Chains A and B, each alone.
Chain A
Amino acid sequence: MLAQMFDMGTYGVYIWSAYGFSVAVLLFNVYRVIRRYKKVIKNETAS
């Protein structure tokens, strides 16, 4: 059952790569923006 869910009917590689890449892109952009915000706050409130 879990194997079928993972394989997605022989297309598993493509589907999981696609979803994996999307999650990675979405998470990376949140990380990037939050990191910038933290840096900006540090710069602006330190001086």
Chain B
Amino acid sequence: MIKFLKQFFHKCVSPKWVHGAIEKLLTPIGYAALLLLSTAFALDLWWAPTDYQQGDAYRIMFVHVPAAFMSLFIYVTLAVSALVYWVWHIKLANVVVKASAPIGAWLTLLALVSGALWGKPMWGTFWIWDARLTSELLLLFLYLGLIILRRSIEDPEQGSKVVAVLALLGAVDLPIIHYSVYWWNTLHQRSTLLNASGPTLDSKMLYPLLGTLLGFLVYYVFIILLEIRSELWVRRNVSTDV
């Protein structure tokens, strides 16, 4: 297993192998994402039962929670890739950093917007300056900062290094977002999925939620693979490392 993983990571460093793998995987993953998301959304809107307290408005959760989760997950991926790029100078890691920033920013925005649309009917306000929402908004600015920074530096290699360092600096916001609901008194609710005693959500609501989350994950993989393929084409004449 370890050997397989090691071999896999070694292959991931080779642009040629990665390009070949992407060409083969892209269509299936694309269709998988489409299928998962459409089924998940259908389940979210019509199969999941109406909530006793929140009525149908809680259905926004099926969009809000995966989007928020992805905003954090993508940043973690981005930060880890930035570290890999900075330490081992593996250029493909830089491609992941470059590709993840825009999609991460969009999903963070989606999390904020869907949260606002959920907040208005349920808690009476589109926005509140509590720790969870504020730190998520900060995350949006971190993503935007990375995108703008990369565009501001002319030399792409220099720019990549600077963006990698900044990405790592911004990673400090991540635990703040996640633990904000425990460290501060917030309007935002606490975690129902990652509880010590298992998810406290009814299974008829849990499965659509997990399905949508999986759909978003596969979607992210699809987007990243597409972007990596584009980047590999742009850089194919650059015969640098592996």
Interface residues of A (CB under 8 A from B): 5, 8-11, 14-15, 17-19, 21-23, 25-26, 28-30, 32-34, 36-37, 40-41, 44
A15-B59 contact given A9-B50, A21-B114, A22-B114, CB 8 Å threshold: yes
Question: B236: which of A32, A34, A44 is its contact (CB, 8 Å)?
Answer: A44
Q: Which residues of B contact A44 (CB under 8 A)?
A: 233-234, 236
A25-B60 contact given A34-B226, A41-B233, CB 8 Å threshold: no
Interface size class of B (residues with CB under 8 A): 35 or more
| Binary interface encoding of chain B residues 213-230 relative to chain A, with 1 for a CB under 8 A from any of its CBs, else 0 | 000000100110011011
Asked whether B56 lies within 8 Å of A15 as measured between CB atoms, the reply is yes
Q: Which residues of B contact A30 (CB under 8 A)?
A: 222-223, 226
Interface residues of B (CB under 8 A from A): 37, 41, 45-46, 50, 55-57, 59-60, 63-64, 67, 102-103, 106-107, 109-110, 113-114, 117-118, 120-121, 219, 222-223, 226-227, 229-230, 233-234, 236
Asked whether B64 lies within 8 Å of A40 as measured between CB atoms, the reply is no
Q: Which residues of A contact B102 (CB under 8 A)?
A: 29, 32
Asked whether A18 lies within 8 Å of B223 as measured between CB atoms, the reply is no
Q: Which residues of A contact B118 (CB under 8 A)?
A: 14, 18
A40-B113 contact given A11-B57, A29-B106, CB 8 Å threshold: no
Smallest CB gap from A11: residue in B: B57
A19-B55 contact given A5-B46, A41-B233, CB 8 Å threshold: no
A28 to B109, CA, bound (A): 13
Asked whether A40 lies within 8 Å of B234 as measured between CB atoms, the reply is yes
User: Of residues B55, B109, B118, B230, which shows the largest number of chain A Cβ atoms within 10 Å of its Cβ?
Assistant: B230
